[in-house]
Amino acid sequence: MSQSKPVGFRLPPAFARKLVAEAAKRELTPGTYARRIVLDALAGDAGRVADELAAARQDLARLRADLGRVAFVLLADAGKADPDQAEAWVRENLTGA
């Protein structure tokens, strides 16, 4: 039966502080949290999570665009704003621009 091998590394102070803070949020020691991060990355989970995050960001962008179109139609068709005003409201409040 193989034994686990100890691994050690140094972190710049800013990253060490971030590791400690993130571990504390999860009620883990910094070493346990670092081990999880490394194991997840080596198992390929980090890439999967990054892919899922990118897909979620694309979905969010599409939803924001859809919401903008809906708001524009509601504002313009309800007579609450002319098309230029509706477009300006959507741009200012929903597109993040």
| Residues in contact with 82: Cβ distance below 8 Å, sequence separation at least 6, in sequence order | 76
| pLDDT tens digits in sequence order for the chain, 97 residues long | 578 899 999 999 999 999 999 999 999 999 999 999 898 888 877 677 778 888 999 999 999 888 888 888 888 877 778 888 888 888 888 765 5
d(CA 97, CA 90): 10
d(CA 33, CA 28): 6
Q: What is the dihedral sign for C-alpha 27, 31, 32, 35? A: positive
User: What DSSP character marks residue 58?
Assistant: H
Q: Closest Cα partner for 91 from 16, 28, 17, 83?
A: 83
pTM of the predicted structure, to 2 decimals: 0.48
Residue 55: the pLDDT is 93
